[in-house]
Structure 1
């Protein structure tokens, strides 16, 4: 998903920048550029080059990196060794994730780095980090820290956090987890950015976001030079045992603006979409429903209290449809984006969201959330916990008291030195779907499938639940019956309702170990049957067969 919240600030920011430029330029000092971008006579003589230097910096400030690069390239034609311009170009390429180019320009500026601002070493350290050069990154961050004014405690604390993260990331890279990461190939991926995968519980349908030329309208976003986002879909081909070639999702989801996939519901009937064209410019969560013809409805925004005037993104629905986990920057959070959960009150109404709090949310930014089909394991992305890269993917388990465990970093190579944001796990815990920049990509960010069956933490998820399967039977004839099974916790709260429409079909219940449940089984023409099932925490079995007998 392309996070567009910054774009709606750009007009206002650009206005402020231009007003400031014209009001203070007569005094020869522009607060939106570094000192040497405007006043250092040894860099450029006053005149056209200095104006270009300021113009490029303005482009950078408002996020127009391509425009800034174009101006800096002009300046380098006559001054190829100029340290400031090389440094600024390196910054631009860092922001556009072209880290090898960023490194090149930082190295060009390095011989004269002492002439530049201390932040040169900080950004150079971040570039080295993205490339995977941890030792060089740590050394440059130490140089930056040494140049910080001792009174600037906030900057020193930030540098210490980055150094700590670099050391932690290095330790994870040196001890990779046992997983197999495979590119999903040309049926799914293209030469353009493909990301944000989500699959149905049966893994027969995958949706994702792409920025390829056949997106609706075919227009390019002027801010980053890439095609606008659209949502694509692919179905599993049973006959050939492979994914069909992905196509723009049929129906009314895609528009000529950005349309990004957040998730598809486990049953494949609802898609959550991210859009950002509200009156206040805040991102919101929309939903679209699948018709009987397989086409998708025009997305509608989720009502309050899910969407607010603040930024909302990333949504994941539990398998029973009763809880929605999502990310929001609303008031009451711990930091920037936080993870919240809301319980369904009725078909079209959600309850007041609850912040998951510590240890999930941090004072920094949580950006993605995925709730496992069993409802007990959460995967999320954050830059507030110790990481390999910037944003890493973490896992947390809900204990029997209803508290989330301390997040576990999924480790390298799932997490890399880049920002790793998207991750969904299959129902059987064997495969994960994920997007990222890797050496074997088809040209840009691609979607991958990961064999996580040997992952030290993920492989143990199935030990948390007991799966009970069977039939509802008549006591008189042994006939298989349709019906419903209501699952209650020890506070008489309904946790799940399993409906058996086809009597030949086995019901499947997933019960958390370490808890006691009451089951109420109902079938038309029969008395309600009630059973108490106590699943001990130390239960070694993960699957059992059980039939429920109904009497008239």
Structure 2
């Protein structure tokens, strides 16, 4: 069995509880032990081992004990002392074997051995054996209330682990290989929406010591997927990070904003702080530290931002937590910045450590790593779901084989919710924390989402444009998304909820705005909408459809969801005072031609009246109705008829 990572062993969630009962051999078995061996030489070697242990020379202590046990193989205290040495040296398999040897000599002399063996059996992932030892210890009926409570908690955790082990998911989890992983630590941070580019943090040991402690260097690397495999990760070109420690990184869903952890940076408030950088084109801008509400004089790390850009989640050891490192969130307040962080509460945070939060693009599923919730040992991955009231469910362990008795951290689930990548130091890796990938089981999958991606360009030249994008839910505005396209590439990407329909607007000064209805049910077989949006420069004679104008059936009464589109048209005219517009109403062919002509005229006049009532001079606007005489599509099916029922405007400069 591969030796568990030292850090993982030290940070195990139940270590403190175990130590309440299991102390050193001397404390556990009496200050003045009556050694069972009659061999003076074995006793002398035992005493030498004690001195070596006090002087922190475990190798010499172990060697002395082995010699003593060769002299007297039934020397029970020698086996117990050896077990303690192996346990302190992070060798639970050897420690368990030594305890079992002592137990076989005399099972009643030191009954606390049951608890020690239970703890070690848990450490080596033999959960059934651990439960057996704990139950046997309880059955002795000599425990006080505190001891019984500790054993009961340990047994409960062990039974949870045993149940998880007995119900594995049918998941093939595999190492991403020696091209991606090294003997150092690799942590998965981000994948692009097409799953073709991965960003990782690599943590390497430095040659220097600071205040006697080993120091590590962290940096960001990028790998690309080509045909069937990943390329070798290459260091990201970030001049501002040269010479500094930067890790714990994530990106926004569109890959244009980076959040990361900077430790011991010159402008830092604490040991580690949270920073962000925005990408313009292919260049990452100089990072900026988050405000004093987020960064404290303590430790903040591992930030992640929601797909809509309004909430960040991060790990902190600040005051007000549940113990250890907790997960906190902060909401963005327009014109005020990031608000006071809120602890995510008891359903997520424990007295142990909760680390590496990851909020999926659905905005409803949060994954995180913890050593405080019952699990398989070390850090396990958990997830919670948000209900309609915004409350988080209880934490659920992601189960076997995603979790093991080793450490699992830094989960990333792709936007489509079909595939996951995780960092783990489990057996079968290249050393340290490796990146592993696996298909996401339905039992732990996020909600489905729809991606809206595009490029905004000038219709005449094809040049990319920096434009304003606004997306509102229909029929009621329960969600609003505002963003700008990349000023160099014109690109944008938005995550949409498949339960909603939306109005979609693109605007830029000097151009006609673009509007569209996004009916999600029409994209059920196409979760990734990818288009080029060409904006028409403002000039006389150009026309556009107002795709988000809505009327009652066979009526000229405007419906409330039309307001954003009409307000946008009014603002467009206010921003361009030298032009006028002709509003044209169109219908499908259902009904008589005369009825449709009159209906189209009335609807165009309703739009005109709205604009006049919102500050547009009446002389700048004219209206007409053309009924069903100018269809865009066939009237033989509903899809075509829906396209033909429309309101359009034409730019006029001779009003």
- In 2, Cα distance between the equivalents of 1:115 and 1:275? 52
Query: What residue is the counterpart of 2:59 in the other structure?
Result: 70
- In 1, Cα distance between the equivalents of 2:6 and 2:240? 20
Which residue of 305, 318, 321 maps to 1:317?
Answer: 305
Query: What residue is the counterpart of 2:198 in the other structure?
Result: 205
Q: Given that residues 230 and 255 in structure 1 are in contact (C-alpha distance below 8 angstroms), is that contact kept between their aligned partners in structure 2?
A: no
1:159-217 superposed Cα distances (whole Å, 9 cap, x missing partner): 22332332232222222212221112222323x35243222435523323434xxx443
- Which SS does the other structure have where 1:217 is aligned? strand
- Once the two structures are TM-superposed, the CA of residue 136 in structure 1 deviates from its matched residue by 0.8
- Once the two structures are TM-superposed, the CA of residue 500 in structure 1 deviates from its matched residue by 3.2
Which residue of 482, 485, 492 maps to 1:500?
Answer: 485
Q: Given that residues 466 and 490 in structure 2 are in contact (C-alpha distance below 8 angstroms), is that contact kept between their aligned partners in structure 1?
A: no
1:307-343 superposed Cα distances (whole Å, 9 cap, x missing partner): 3344444322334544221122333334443211112
- Once the two structures are TM-superposed, the CA of residue 218 in structure 1 deviates from its matched residue by 6.2
Q: 1:474/1:438 Cα in 2 relative to 1: closer, same or farther (>3 Å)?
A: closer
- Once the two structures are TM-superposed, the CA of residue 380 in structure 1 deviates from its matched residue by 0.8
Query: What residue is the counterpart of 2:564 in the other structure?
Result: none
- Which SS does the other structure have where 2:218 is aligned? strand
Q: Given that residues 517 and 533 in structure 1 are in contact (C-alpha distance below 8 angstroms), is that contact kept between their aligned partners in structure 2?
A: yes
Structure 1 residue runs without a partner (length 5+): 8-29, 60-66
1:460-491 superposed Cα distances (whole Å, 9 cap, x missing partner): x353x344456779999999976222245799
Q: 1:69/1:549 Cα in 2 relative to 1: closer, same or farther (>3 Å)?
A: farther
- Once the two structures are TM-superposed, the CA of residue 508 in structure 1 deviates from its matched residue by 4.1
Query: What residue is the counterpart of 1:231 in the other structure?
Result: 218
Query: What residue is the counterpart of 1:19 in the other structure?
Result: none
Q: 1:301/1:49 Cα in 2 relative to 1: closer, same or farther (>3 Å)?
A: farther
- In 2, Cα distance between the equivalents of 1:195 and 1:92? 31
- Please say if 1:264 is aligned against 2:255: no
- In 1, Cα distance between the equivalents of 2:234 and 2:453? 37
- Which SS does the other structure have where 1:180 is aligned? coil
- Once the two structures are TM-superposed, the CA of residue 138 in structure 1 deviates from its matched residue by 0.5
- Please say if 1:135 is aligned against 2:128: yes
- Which SS does the other structure have where 2:312 is aligned? strand
- In 2, Cα distance between the equivalents of 1:31 and 1:162? 19
- In 2, Cα distance between the equivalents of 1:2 and 1:272? 26
- Which SS does the other structure have where 2:409 is aligned? coil
- Once the two structures are TM-superposed, the CA of residue 48 in structure 1 deviates from its matched residue by 9.4
Q: Given that residues 38 and 53 in structure 1 are in contact (C-alpha distance below 8 angstroms), is that contact kept between their aligned partners in structure 2?
A: no
- In 2, Cα distance between the equivalents of 1:375 and 1:167? 32
Q: TM (normalized to structure 2)? A: 0.62
- Once the two structures are TM-superposed, the CA of residue 411 in structure 1 deviates from its matched residue by 1.4
Which residue of 150, 175, 180 maps to 1:158?
Answer: 150
- Please say if 1:355 is aligned against 2:355: no
- Once the two structures are TM-superposed, the CA of residue 529 in structure 1 deviates from its matched residue by 6.9
Q: 1:84/1:340 Cα in 2 relative to 1: closer, same or farther (>3 Å)?
A: farther
- Please say if 1:243 is aligned against 2:230: yes
- Which SS does the other structure have where 2:199 is aligned? strand
- In 2, Cα distance between the equivalents of 1:336 and 1:416? 22
Q: Given that residues 248 and 261 in structure 2 are in contact (C-alpha distance below 8 angstroms), is that contact kept between their aligned partners in structure 1?
A: yes
- Which SS does the other structure have where 2:152 is aligned? helix
- Once the two structures are TM-superposed, the CA of residue 535 in structure 1 deviates from its matched residue by 6.7
Query: What residue is the counterpart of 1:448 in the other structure?
Result: 436
Q: Given that residues 234 and 244 in structure 1 are in contact (C-alpha distance below 8 angstroms), is that contact kept between their aligned partners in structure 2?
A: no
Q: Equivalent residues in 2 for 1:381-530 (5 A)?
A: 381-452=369-440, 455-459=441-445, 461-463=446-448, 465-468=449-452, 483-487=467-471, 496-501=481-486, 508-514=493-499, 521-526=506-511
Query: Greater shift after overlay, 242-251 or 287-296?
Result: 287-296
1:63-84 superposed Cα distances (whole Å, 9 cap, x missing partner): xxxx453353244144235545
- Which SS does the other structure have where 2:321 is aligned? coil
Which residue of 356, 363, 375 maps to 1:368?
Answer: 356
Query: What residue is the counterpart of 2:96 in the other structure?
Result: 103
- Once the two structures are TM-superposed, the CA of residue 413 in structure 1 deviates from its matched residue by 0.4
- In 2, Cα distance between the equivalents of 1:113 and 1:495? 71
Query: What residue is the counterpart of 1:56 in the other structure?
Result: 53
Query: What residue is the counterpart of 2:207 in the other structure?
Result: 217
Q: 1:530/1:382 Cα in 2 relative to 1: closer, same or farther (>3 Å)?
A: same
Query: What residue is the counterpart of 1:194 in the other structure?
Result: 185
Which residue of 133, 144, 160 maps to 1:168?
Answer: 160
- In 2, Cα distance between the equivalents of 1:529 and 1:293? 23
- In 2, Cα distance between the equivalents of 1:341 and 1:420? 22
Larger RCO: Structure 1 or Structure 2 (Cα < 8 Å, ≥ 6 residues apart)? 1
- In 2, Cα distance between the equivalents of 1:238 and 1:53? 56
- Please say if 1:125 is aligned against 2:112: no
- Please say if 1:184 is aligned against 2:181: no
- Once the two structures are TM-superposed, the CA of residue 450 in structure 1 deviates from its matched residue by 2.0
Query: What residue is the counterpart of 2:613 in the other structure?
Result: none
- Which SS does the other structure have where 2:181 is aligned? coil
Alignment size in residue pairs: 505
- Once the two structures are TM-superposed, the CA of residue 414 in structure 1 deviates from its matched residue by 0.4
Q: 1:348/1:181 Cα in 2 relative to 1: closer, same or farther (>3 Å)?
A: farther
Q: 1:269/1:70 Cα in 2 relative to 1: closer, same or farther (>3 Å)?
A: farther
- In 2, Cα distance between the equivalents of 1:345 and 1:90? 56
Q: 1:142/1:541 Cα in 2 relative to 1: closer, same or farther (>3 Å)?
A: same
Let me know the Cα RMSD of the aligned residues: 5.0
Q: 1:468/1:243 Cα in 2 relative to 1: closer, same or farther (>3 Å)?
A: closer
Name the larger-Rg structure.
2
- Which SS does the other structure have where 2:151 is aligned? helix
Query: Greater shift after overlay, 349-358 or 227-236?
Result: 227-236
- In 1, Cα distance between the equivalents of 2:109 and 2:371? 28
- In 2, Cα distance between the equivalents of 1:268 and 1:96? 46
Q: Given that residues 329 and 342 in structure 2 are in contact (C-alpha distance below 8 angstroms), is that contact kept between their aligned partners in structure 1?
A: yes
